[in-house]
Structures are given as C-alpha cells and as structure tokens.
Amino acid sequence: MTVTFTLNGGTCRFHGDPMTPLVDLLRNERYLTGTKAVCREGFCGACTVEVDGAAVMSCLKPVGLLAGSSVTTIEALATGEAAMHPLQAAFAEADVVQCGMCFPGMVMSLSAFLRDTPAPDREAVKAAMVGNICRCTGYERIVDAVMAFVARGQEGATHG
Ligand code: FES
Ligand code: FES
C-alpha cells in the first residue's frame, strides 16, 4: 500500500504495510529519532507527535490512517532561525532534563495544549501532562518550567 502525507512540511510517500506504526516509519526510515519509542503501548507518551495539530501517540498510529494528514515531529517544532521551540528552551533553562527520553513527547503534548490554552493554571498543566511519564525528573519541576514559559508569554502579551 502507498500512503502520502505531509511530514514536517514536506511530502512523505510510504510504501509498505499500512499497519506499520508511525513511530517506526519516523525513526527507522526517516531517521527522525527525536521521537522516542519506549513502551510502544500508549502508556508513556514518549512517542508523541502532532497529527493535524493534535498531539498523538505515534506508536498507536498506523501509517495507513495518515493519507492526506500533516505530521509534525519535534525536529520541526521550532520555527524560523530558532534552534529550539521556546518551550524546549524553557526546559533547558530550568535544567529539568535528565536522561531526556520523555522530553520530546512532553514538549509535543504541551506545545499543542498551550496553543489552545495559552494561560493555563498549574492544575491544568498537570492534567495536560497526564499521558507523559518521566522516570527521572520530579514532575513539579517540569510544571515549574512550563509555568515560567507561560508567565513569559503573558509578559510578552502585556508588553508586546
Ligand atoms: S512509546 Fe508510544 S506511548 Fe510509549
Ligand atoms: S528525563 Fe528521563 S524519563 Fe524524563
């Protein structure tokens, strides 16, 4: 089966088993290894990407269902000249990243959430992170980093 969709702004043509999980196409054929495959069962969130603007676990998404869709991975989340999306930069500044396995998925989930909810409170951020497991860093510190990012955005909105 051939499936054509948009991947990080370019055309992606996949030929093969339509049940192939998107995470395997990304990592093994496109070498987009920022997307992590950890549990492969929809529990950890490490494989999260955006499909048509929504956060999706790519280990549970068969490529055969992607015809005509637009997929964005962590590699294409930053725009313009920026090396990192501002949320990635906020995590780096707060020094919350340890092994790093969870962070691409966490950034993808939270960036989609923050696009729809630009001024969440702490509890809403925690609820948005419920599908992303981190084995290293305390969750409170991650929430601190997100709230710092949110505060900076509100400051920009106030002074911009
Ligand atoms: S690898 Fe997809 S949810 Fe864990
Ligand atoms: S930093 Fe290691 S799993 Fe989150």
Domain range for 126 = 86-159
- The answer, yes or no, to whether any atom of ligand 2 lies below 6 A from the CB of 106, is no
Residue 30 domain flag? yes
| Residues in the ligand 1 pocket, defined by CB under 6 Å | 37-40, 42-47, 57, 59
* Number of domains the chain is built from: 2
This prediction's pTM? 0.93
Q: Counting runs of H as helices and runs of E as strands, what totals does the chain give?
A: 5, 5
pLDDT band at 97 (very low <50, low <70, confident <90, very high): confident
Q: Where a domain ends, among 14, 41, 76?
A: 76
Residue 81 domain flag? no
Considering the domain architecture, whether residues 98 and 147 belong to the same structural domain is answered as yes
Is residue 84 within 8 A of residue 92, CB to CB? The reply is yes
Q: Which atom of ligand 1 is nearest to the CA of 40?
A: 1
Instruction: Work out the burial of residue 119: count CB atoms within 10 Å of its CB; fewer than 13 is exposed, 13-18 middle, 19 or more buried.
Output: exposed
Residue 6 per-residue DSSP state: E
Q: The domain spanning residue 70 has which CATH number?
A: 3.10.20.30
Which ligand is located closest to the Cα atom of residue 35?
Answer: 1
40-90 residue pLDDT tens: 999 999 999 999 999 999 999 999 999 999 999 999 998 888 888 999 999
Q: 50 forms bridges with which residues in the sheet?
A: 55, 72
Which ligand is located closest to the Cα atom of residue 36?
Answer: 1
Q: Where a domain ends, among 54, 76, 98?
A: 76
Considering the domain architecture, whether residues 57 and 16 belong to the same structural domain is answered as yes
Residue 13 domain flag? yes
The pLDDT value recorded for residue 114 is 96
